[in-house]
Structure 1
């Protein structure tokens, strides 16, 4: 392995999405990632389907959900509820740089796998905890899921059609963005702790939560409230601070206009055939357009329905006006720019064959992202990990399988 994080070992005790997303990023960047799973069932998302990707012989399958967040990992199926299982994990911790977990607060303490218990044997350990609500506070003991946090963290209150419009009501984002953002923040925290360890030799406990991340990710909407006292409302596809910045109907569908400054607006007016709008005091500046959006937006809609999406996009791009079609996901993966960037990739799996994956968006000149392995079958690498990292013999591994400490599918 030759990635930026080559030489580091990650023990991934997390499941579902936020933790696995972070661990997948670390794996993409070259770290060795050992995914610890419950024998027999594994990560919950292995069964979150359909759809599933099935092997040619039909004997093995992985859910699309699991496939989205678990490449570049090895799977170790081990029962951490047992004394021997806990001891094996502790031995792996002593040989690791990073532990990533998303158990409930205190959930690993009873197994002796919490940070305070593990740092004594590995002072340089970076231990990252992800929870729903944080390590303290009145909600600390509650479980957290993305949908719940999108609601409690305010995101759904600003997502969806405005009150009084058809289909009005709070709506969640179409993917688990709170989980994904939490995975990104966790990764940033781990990298910062690695830099600190490089300077001092000291590890530390990094923690974040879905609720903390969701509130932090309210970005301009949070500041809109904190600076004005006005509670942001659902606005459909409209933007609270920029006009025009939303979806507009065309003769055969919809397109998005993202006009970020007054010069772009003037060019838009020319293409729409209404150059006079750019000089109208009601629309001349973004501040005026925000104040008078109810007068301007219907006028733009009346103009955009006269031509097809492709016609408008071609003309507006030529004029330097940011715009684009509202693509379905199949069109995303056939888009010429997406194809040129090589975002869709294939990984080979020894049982499932060719496994599709969505590439990491980072690009490096010296240490490129390494797509080493497809998401693993449950326990696929148990024997390999315990033999290579801990030096266990085949007989010792076989005995652990017989005792139920390791999954029967251990290899």
Structure 2
């Protein structure tokens, strides 16, 4: 039994941020009911597929909707609304990621649902938050990860010096917001256990990226200048950077005095250890020292560099996903999990659950659901009665 086995979550979300939030809860044992619009989550038909588009969903949907149950409802219809409200009465949590005001148009906003279930935790993920927790003129605008990364400052500090602003590869505007929202949900559930009181939880993508860029915020405040791009280096630590090797790249984080001495010993450069023995001296002379390190790494393979440094200096090669798949550490930590892919003749691999717990299991509880796969078990007599009337 997972830690959240007694938690029922109604997941009225789609695409990435909302589904990732509820996926975290499902991996921890919650019963997550994915309430899908007619036709299903917009991301169901998104590639990649194993064999063909005859599969009911692709890798995008599979990855963040594993372990959930699916119910297709038209919330704009009387019957769909009634079915949803019947589920709300016994739910612990509702999560949605529509624009502000969308659920209210269905007459299914927080205040309406709270009347049915006073202890309900209602969580919203939006680009710019909800007026209930702080109104702004941006609310109601659509937003995606790229918008959040641009507005929140992460693109301005990502990329090489002199180059263009660059998006971080993973959709951190969605994923970080989702993780924070899951924390907010669990905090609200804990509060309800003590008081019996439900509440509205609001996590905005723009807000989340500002929080993620905390370093840029305090740098601007302390120094009076907005930080910008400087590649893989760090503004206050050196060496803390990526370096080219003969067959790839390695990263070296030797900013501590002990690590610096160990790096210089491996390079057979006791003079550098003596001449730049403190962090401030290394930071002042970072350009020249970086070239000394780069000249050493360029003559060696990634394996030779890591063999010389790992254990005494924080250092690793830059891996691609194929390398990750071959890494025994990743396998030992159950971070690559095989699940069934409906319509395909082989299982597929998705990312595992990084939260590990000693008393309660965590991790995907099976594949993502087919659209409306769990209608009968979720609606029971209501579904049977309606089918008889039809």
Query: TM-score by structure 1 length?
Result: 0.90
- 1:285-339 CA deviation, whole Å, 9 max, x = no partner? 2222222211211111111111111011011014x10111111111111112112
* Greater mean deviation of Cα atoms: 172-181 or 339-348: 339-348
Q: CA deviation at 1:53?
A: 3.5
Q: C-alpha separation between the residues in 2 aligned to 1:3 and 1:358?
A: 18
- CA spacing shift, 1:72–1:356, aligned 2, 3 Å: same
The alignment partner of 2:65 has SS state of coil
Tell me if 1:302 matches 2:295. Answer: yes
Q: C-alpha separation between the residues in 2 aligned to 1:224 and 1:312?
A: 33
- CA spacing shift, 1:379–1:393, aligned 2, 3 Å: closer
Among residues 305, 308, 325, which one is paired with 1:315 in the alignment? 308
Partner of 2:129: 134
For structure 2, the 5+ residue unaligned runs are: none
Partner of 2:384: 394
Partner of 1:188: 183
Among residues 224, 228, 238, which one is paired with 2:223 in the alignment? 228
Q: CA RMSD in A?
A: 1.6
Q: C-alpha separation between the residues in 2 aligned to 1:382 and 1:284?
A: 67
Q: CA deviation at 1:59?
A: 4.1
The alignment partner of 2:156 has SS state of helix
**Contact 2:376/2:383 (8 A) holds in 1:** no
Query: TM-score by structure 2 length?
Result: 0.95
**Contact 1:9/1:33 (8 A) holds in 2:** yes
Tell me if 1:85 matches 2:77. Answer: no
Q: C-alpha separation between the residues in 2 aligned to 1:225 and 1:386?
A: 54
Q: C-alpha separation between the residues in 2 aligned to 1:61 and 1:198?
A: 39
Partner of 2:43: 45
Partner of 1:338: 330
- CA spacing shift, 1:397–1:290, aligned 2, 3 Å: farther
**Contact 1:53/1:61 (8 A) holds in 2:** no
Tell me if 1:118 matches 2:116. Answer: no
**Contact 1:355/1:374 (8 A) holds in 2:** no
**Contact 2:94/2:123 (8 A) holds in 1:** yes
1:144-155 matches, within 5 Å, as: 144-155=143-154
Matched length: 385
Partner of 1:368: 361
For structure 1, the 5+ residue unaligned runs are: 403-411
Q: C-alpha separation between the residues in 2 aligned to 1:337 and 1:370?
A: 17
- CA spacing shift, 1:228–1:6, aligned 2, 3 Å: same
Among residues 229, 234, 237, which one is paired with 1:239 in the alignment? 234
The alignment partner of 1:157 has SS state of coil
**Contact 1:54/1:61 (8 A) holds in 2:** no
Partner of 2:97: 102
* Greater mean deviation of Cα atoms: 330-339 or 25-34: 330-339
